[in-house]
Structure 1
Amino acid sequence: MAPIDGGLVLAKTLQGFGIDTIFTLHGGHLDSVLRAADSLGIRLIDTRHEQAAGLAAMGLAHATGKVGVALVTAGGGVTNVVSAAANALADGVPLVILGGAPPLNDVDALPANSGIDQLAVMAGVTKHSLRITHISLLAELVGRAFRIAKEGRPGPVYLDLPSDVLFDQIEEADVVFPNGAMRVAPAAPSRSAVLEVLSLLRGASRPVILAGGGVVRSGASNLLVEFVERTGIPVLTNNKSRGVIPTTSPLWGRGFSALGAAKARGHGEADVVVLLGARVGIYTGGRHNSVIPTSARVIQVDVEPEEMGRLHDVHLGITSDCREMLSALLDADDATWPDYSNWAASLTSPSERKRNAGSEADGVLTPGLVGAALASCLPADTVLVADGGETPSWLDAAATSDTAGQWFGHGYLGIMGEGMPLAIGAQIAYPDKRVVVWVGDGAVGFNFAEFDTMVRHNLPIVVVVNNDRQWTMSAHGQELLWGSTPRLAVDLRDTRYDIAASGFGAHAEYVEKLDELAPALERALASGMPACVNVATSAIEIAPVTRRFMRDAAQADSSVASSSAALTDSPSTSR
């Protein structure tokens, strides 16, 4: 066999793990990989920013459960992908991030795109990071990166790839390519643990399941639906698990905060809480305002034993894959269940869902009205990507999700601007589905140039901009703290995002009245092009999510200063 370079070794290894798409932005350090990937038929989606490449890879991984791959160049390319890596780490999304690096033989010589320790930069935002120092190690260590990214709690893995390793050559016969089909058997619960869970749930008066991303990652949605339909136990979800049970089900009760709302309406507290692949933190109310009652017996199921008991004592912790847990519960269940229908109804009240959707105020076009109208006029299987501070909550209040992977929302890191890149990954994963982004005018500015990426790669994503000319959650937070003045660093211009998007070649629509929205969306969807629908709104209503965050902040600390600090700790309150 003829010798091959490191780029081809890498590309063939990626192909062996089923990778058919790489998200990237060009840099000279990467040319051998780009040429090799192209020669093997691997699709290259080149974005306008490395952050977008990492987030798009994350979008594909979230949609498919496969490992997403981002390839970035040395120096600024690596530092630009840090937010995407941190996002994936916080939310347990499997990524392999390949970073170009200066040649090993130029160490300490300050060559192009150098001056920092890239491994040190990436170590704190990844599950594992490693520098590959010789071409003979390349295939083996890339294979190891995939296994680390995927197994246990998934997450991002970073590989530092010096350019002299990538351009070096080796006899192909000397390369041992890893077996991309290998998979580690998932952790399963013991028989005694399964029987104890069934006993605790059957003996409860108000049981509830808090389903998290672990349900999605294990492919357990169908088993969860079967289990709750058999038992009548209601399910609450978060942004990463929305759709694991259809949102039209009478057993779905929206977000974890529904526990607190039910108590406030006088329906009592949950007495047994199952944390099924869900982490305890901001989505459960944090340290001081947890929606999980202190008196409740908590059952926690997670692939990572280190997660057990975070912020709340656990009655029974079970290290298990969620699918294995649900399968074991279904197999062992052989008795009748109590009637939980009244309790389930208190968590899933249709009137509460309608209340959260917003209302019309003197003919003003509000984000709540737009979110509800948007949800009502899109195809049922539309993949929805929500980005911004208050903006996502208005769509979440009205939209339906029949399956997991149909909703993309903020996670623990809560970064703004992830919507358009996530949508790129989702559209690659679902080429036959419509992908629609609902984004605030603040958040859309971060990665606006990705309209260019969408146009060049023929990705017919529709971006609907909630243009209320401000960082709305921040503005409303200041209003709740200090009144209407002063407004500090929260105002934006009335920008014509539609015109700017058309400059990249996208279809453009501008909407000022509610009755213009549906026709504009219809034209945008029918265009078969990337599209920007710029909707001029007035955020006169403060979203319930903002009031809740501010109330929690105030309860955590009675001082205004501490309340402000607590506000910025939430995953989507910074803007």
Structure 2
Amino acid sequence: MAPFKLQQPKNRELLGGDLAAQALKNLGVDVAFGLHGGHLDAFLVGAHDAGIKLIDTRHETTAVQAAEGYAKVSGKTGVCFVTANSGFCNGLPGLATAFADRSPIFCVTSSPPLQDAETNALQGFHDQVVLAKPITKFAHRVTNVEEIPRIVAFAFRAASTGIKGPVLIDFPIDVLFSPPQLHRVAFGAVDVPPVDPPAPNPAALDRLLEAWKGAKRPVIIHGTGVRGIDNTLTKLVEVTHSPVFYSNKLSTPIAADHELRGGPAGGLAALAGKEQADFVLLLGGRTGFLLGGRSGAIIPNNATIAQVDLDGAEIGKTHAVNIGIVADASLFCEQAAAKASEASFNRNEEWVKKCRKLCTDPLPFENEPKMQKDGQIHPYHAMASVMRSLPRNAIIMIDGGEAGQWASMSAELAGAKHVITPPGYLGFLGNGWGYSIGAAVADPNRLIVNMHGDGSAGFHIQELDTFARFGLNILTIIANNYVWGMSVNGQDLIYEGKTDARPAIQLSKSCAYEVVAQGFNCKSAKVTEYDQIKPTVEELSKSGPSLINMIVSVKPTSPATLGMVGATNDPNVIVVPYYDNVPRPYYKNAENGQANGHS
């Protein structure tokens, strides 16, 4: 990291906005996403002069999500800017997602002059720091212009080290527009190299490897913590002969044709009730609904479980973990692979083949008709055809509910560089728009595929304008079934034969997404027949910003929705859609001894 030296702007004086921008530039920031607001002009001009590229979006939520998508793909800290109060409030959903998904985001905002506190000033009603604190790692208001570099450096390090997450700094407009006294500027750690991440405890690592070595059916399940460690993870997988599976937040860096690639972790549910894994290494990923909750379907309850995470509180949070290690995933893989290569790990050929078949065997839907009785394309066949038609090594963003489930089931067919599910732990539909912007900026020579249902597509479709203005290499595909698919299919499972009511699930059949795309200067097409999918995808994959409106059937219901809703006629169970069902309580009536008034 180069020593920090302030640069004097040409034809104007150095201001607080320059301090913020130059500090970020010295910390390695090359791009920032946001929306203009007059409060931010001193920072924005300073960023331009410092060589930071500014990508202005059409909504603050997508600006923050773009910073998150940029972080996921580049491995760097994403930077965004939102103006005072109104822009800040629009950005809160993005911060909430980044906090839940532990994404390193640095958010710049502003506020009215300090002297105007509590005067009902323009865009000054909410205390932004108070609102931001519950959903950030660090939130702070700078009140002294000379302290800007120090605070920026501290916040940047908070976002990007340890358990990563978003930070927010509120620079009041008078602080941004004030010239500093140069001899008083506090630089803090603005030119100090990042700290080294923690390595695994050697004794704990030895215990883990001993348990692993004795396993007959080992698997590795990883989360986003393995991003960027392709070679070290591959070496560990190969020396231990362990099939690797991934949480659908981020696909594995293991090569698509590697014999030890098992695909999405959800595929392990096919082994439930059969011969499951007897050793699970959970690497850089958290337990929870993305890994089957506490059902034991994905992470068997009777397996030996080892968990490696930067957050010690996550270890054993929902499962009884036998061996826990607080460590960086890269350092763990490096040291574990080195030690494992000196040992002799048995290879269970039958287990390796069984796990590989989980992502290579055709799904049962392959045998179903490509066109449904309603005259629309079967959603599985639609998504599978899309995946087969995409260029290899694309980055695929999967948004939406039912559409997202069908896309995830068929994503292994694409041979993608990354498959990412932007809604994350919050299930935040619409995140794919911002994620796609960030990914396209981080990796401009690679095709970004922005997958949506027609429900999630409606959240931020105006970002097609951003795609076009910046010439981003993004193909948007909308699986359009005219309804909130997961919602109506969930209601069908629960209420079929009980009521015809299906409230709040209908979308418009007349909405021509391909025409909307043309209005935003993107190329587009509408697909209504199965045979149209392949040539259309192949053509528009080479066309820059573009969109396909692909009409699909709402049926059949995806296996994921069937499993999540858990519909049953068992009178002893209360169906709790999208969560585990709960036992029905019974209370004896003191007068007649009947339970809940029933004999």
**Which TM-score bucket, shorter chain as reference?**
over 0.9
**Shift of residue 290, structure 1, vs aligned partner:** 5.8
Contact 1:354/1:398 (8 A) holds in 2: no
**Shift of residue 184, structure 1, vs aligned partner:** 1.0
Q: CA, structure 1 residues 403+355, in 2 after alignment: closer, same or farther (shift >3 Å)?
A: closer
Could you give the per-residue CA deviations for residues 240-299 of structure 1, whole angstroms, max 9, x where no partner exists?
3313223332222223333332134x2x13222111111111122224556322222211
- Find the partner of 2:395 among 383, 387, 400: 383
What is the aligned partner in structure 1 of residue 231 from structure 2?
222
Contact 2:82/2:109 (8 A) holds in 1: yes
Q: CA, structure 1 residues 550+347, in 2 after alignment: closer, same or farther (shift >3 Å)?
A: farther
Contact 1:246/1:403 (8 A) holds in 2: no
C-alpha distance in structure 2 between counterparts of 1:232 and 1:440, whole Å: 38
C-alpha distance in structure 1 between counterparts of 2:334 and 2:178, whole Å: 49
What is the aligned partner in structure 1 of residue 505 from structure 2?
490
What is the aligned partner in structure 1 of residue 250 from structure 2?
241
**Shift of residue 373, structure 1, vs aligned partner:** 0.9
**Shift of residue 473, structure 1, vs aligned partner:** 0.8
Q: Which moved more, 1:42-51 or 1:356-365?
A: 356-365
Correspondences of 1:100-499 after superposition (within 5 Å): 100-172=110-182, 174-177=184-187, 178-180=189-191, 182-216=193-227, 219-264=228-273, 266=274, 268-287=275-294, 291-333=298-340, 334-350=342-358, 353-355=361-363, 360-361=368-369, 363-364=371-372, 365-400=377-412, 405=418, 407-483=420-496, 485-494=500-509, 495-499=511-515
Larger Rg: 2
Contact 1:356/1:544 (8 A) holds in 2: no
Q: Which moved more, 1:333-342 or 1:1-10?
A: 1-10
**Shift of residue 174, structure 1, vs aligned partner:** 4.2
Aligned residues: 561
Contact 1:466/1:537 (8 A) holds in 2: yes
Q: CA, structure 1 residues 303+475, in 2 after alignment: closer, same or farther (shift >3 Å)?
A: same
C-alpha distance in structure 2 between counterparts of 1:357 and 1:419, whole Å: 26
What is the aligned partner in structure 2 of residue 571 from structure 1?
none
Identity %: 33
Q: CA, structure 1 residues 128+503, in 2 after alignment: closer, same or farther (shift >3 Å)?
A: same
- Find the partner of 2:97 among 65, 82, 87: 87
**Shift of residue 176, structure 1, vs aligned partner:** 4.6
Which ranges of structure 1 fall in alignment gaps of 5 or more residues?
568-575
Q: CA, structure 1 residues 421+362, in 2 after alignment: closer, same or farther (shift >3 Å)?
A: closer
C-alpha distance in structure 2 between counterparts of 1:73 and 1:553, whole Å: 50
> Quick one: which amino acid aligns to residue 371 of structure 2?
G
C-alpha distance in structure 2 between counterparts of 1:404 and 1:511, whole Å: 26
Could you give the per-residue CA deviations for residues 321-370 of structure 1, whole angstroms, max 9, x where no partner exists?
11111111122121222222222333332577521665543633122111
Q: Which moved more, 1:54-63 or 1:109-118?
A: 109-118
Considering only aligned residues, what root-mean-square deviation do their CA atoms show, in Å?
Answer: 2.3
Contact 1:289/1:552 (8 A) holds in 2: no
**Shift of residue 493, structure 1, vs aligned partner:** 0.7
Higher relative contact order (CA 8 A, sep 6+): 1
**Shift of residue 490, structure 1, vs aligned partner:** 0.8
Aligned residue for 1:7, secondary structure, equals helix
What is the aligned partner in structure 2 of residue 538 from structure 1?
553
C-alpha distance in structure 1 between counterparts of 2:134 and 2:127, whole Å: 12
**Shift of residue 544, structure 1, vs aligned partner:** 1.3
Q: Which moved more, 1:196-205 or 1:46-55?
A: 196-205
Contact 1:4/1:171 (8 A) holds in 2: no
What is the aligned partner in structure 2 of residue 570 from structure 1?
none
Contact 1:441/1:465 (8 A) holds in 2: yes
What is the aligned partner in structure 2 of residue 513 from structure 1?
529
- Find the partner of 1:8 among 8, 14, 18: 18
Contact 1:357/1:372 (8 A) holds in 2: no
C-alpha distance in structure 2 between counterparts of 1:521 and 1:237, whole Å: 27
Q: CA, structure 1 residues 180+441, in 2 after alignment: closer, same or farther (shift >3 Å)?
A: farther
What is the aligned partner in structure 2 of residue 98 from structure 1?
108
Contact 2:272/2:297 (8 A) holds in 1: no
Contact 1:243/1:403 (8 A) holds in 2: no
**Shift of residue 173, structure 1, vs aligned partner:** 5.2
Q: CA, structure 1 residues 69+357, in 2 after alignment: closer, same or farther (shift >3 Å)?
A: farther
Could you give the per-residue CA deviations for residues 407-458 of structure 1, whole angstroms, max 9, x where no partner exists?
4443111100111211110000111111111110000000010011111112
Contact 1:245/1:402 (8 A) holds in 2: no
Could you give the per-residue CA deviations for residues 208-246 of structure 1, whole angstroms, max 9, x where no partner exists?
111111111xx3222111111122111110123313223
Could you give the per-residue CA deviations for residues 157-179 of structure 1, whole angstroms, max 9, x where no partner exists?
11111111111111445435443
C-alpha distance in structure 1 between counterparts of 2:58 and 2:532, whole Å: 32
What is the aligned partner in structure 1 of residue 594 from structure 2?
none
What is the aligned partner in structure 2 of residue 549 from structure 1?
564
Contact 1:58/1:93 (8 A) holds in 2: yes
> Quick one: which amino acid aligns to residue 342 of structure 1?
E
C-alpha distance in structure 2 between counterparts of 1:553 and 1:78, whole Å: 44
Could you give the per-residue CA deviations for residues 7-45 of structure 1, whole angstroms, max 9, x where no partner exists?
111110111111111101011111111111122222111
C-alpha distance in structure 2 between counterparts of 1:346 and 1:461, whole Å: 36
C-alpha distance in structure 2 between counterparts of 1:553 and 1:140, whole Å: 58
Could you give the per-residue CA deviations for residues 178-208 of structure 1, whole angstroms, max 9, x where no partner exists?
4356111111112212211111011112221
Q: CA, structure 1 residues 362+282, in 2 after alignment: closer, same or farther (shift >3 Å)?
A: closer
Q: Which moved more, 1:86-95 or 1:281-290?
A: 281-290
Contact 2:69/2:437 (8 A) holds in 1: yes
**Shift of residue 519, structure 1, vs aligned partner:** 2.3
C-alpha distance in structure 2 between counterparts of 1:468 and 1:181, whole Å: 53
> Quick one: which amino acid aligns to residue 375 of structure 1?
M
**Shift of residue 58, structure 1, vs aligned partner:** 0.5
C-alpha distance in structure 1 between counterparts of 2:209 and 2:296, whole Å: 28
> Quick one: which amino acid aligns to residue 255 of structure 2?
P
C-alpha distance in structure 1 between counterparts of 2:163 and 2:34, whole Å: 25
Contact 1:381/1:406 (8 A) holds in 2: no
What is the aligned partner in structure 1 of residue 589 from structure 2?
none
Q: CA, structure 1 residues 354+36, in 2 after alignment: closer, same or farther (shift >3 Å)?
A: same
What is the aligned partner in structure 2 of residue 572 from structure 1?
none
C-alpha distance in structure 2 between counterparts of 1:141 and 1:551, whole Å: 49
Aligned residue for 1:12, secondary structure, equals helix
What is the aligned partner in structure 2 of residue 44 from structure 1?
54
Which ranges of structure 2 fall in alignment gaps of 5 or more residues?
1-7, 582-599
C-alpha distance in structure 2 between counterparts of 1:373 and 1:417, whole Å: 23
Q: Which moved more, 1:366-375 or 1:462-471?
A: 366-375
What is the aligned partner in structure 1 of residue 590 from structure 2?
none
Could you give the per-residue CA deviations for residues 379-415 of structure 1, whole angstroms, max 9, x where no partner exists?
1021111110021222222334767645444311110
